[in-house]
Each structure stands twice: as structure tokens, then as C-alpha cells.
Amino acid sequence: MKQGGDELVVDTGGKITAAGTQANTIANLTITANLAGINGTDTFMSAEQAAALGADLAAIATKMNAVIAALEGVGILKTS
């Protein structure tokens, strides 16, 4: 198996760890906002739709931050 230099090889089923610890799983994202009826020109969203959209955006940010932390944890990205 080629390893080192300019290539990192992980066999199927393998894992990348930081000091022997693999990053936690990140649950699948579920979008809950229902923006039906909003056409972008003359229809405003309701407070409930806006709240659901805000919650979805917060969930996306949380999951992206977990991905970034995992990549930083194994040295793929610099720690911010």
C-alpha cells in the first residue's frame, strides 16, 4: 500500500484518527422549513416560516462547524 509523501491512503472501512480517537458522527441534516407559497416577488413569509428557516440555518451551521472541527482535529485544516 502506498503511504506518505503526497498521498494518504485509507482502506475501505478504515478511519482517520487524531491521537487514536475518531471524530464523532454527525447526524444527517433534516430541513424543516416549509416555504410553500413564497414566490420571491410579492409574498412574504410568515413568522413561523421565518423561525423554521432560522432553525434550519442554525442546524446547518452546527453541522458545518462539526465537520470543520473534525478536519482540524486530524490536521487536514489548520486550527482556527
Per-residue pLDDT reduced to its tens digit, 21-71: 888 889 999 999 998 888 777 778 889 999 999 999 999 999 999 999 999
What's the pLDDT band for 3 if we cut at 50, 70, 90? low
The Cα–Cα gap between 16 and 13 comes to 10
**Of 76, 71, 80, residue with least CA distance to 23:** 71
Question: For residue 4, is pLDDT > 70?
Answer: no
User: What average pLDDT score do residues 9-23 get?
Assistant: 86
Question: For residue 7, is pLDDT > 80?
Answer: no
For residue 74, the model assigns a pLDDT of 86
Q: Which residue has the cell 475501505?
A: 12
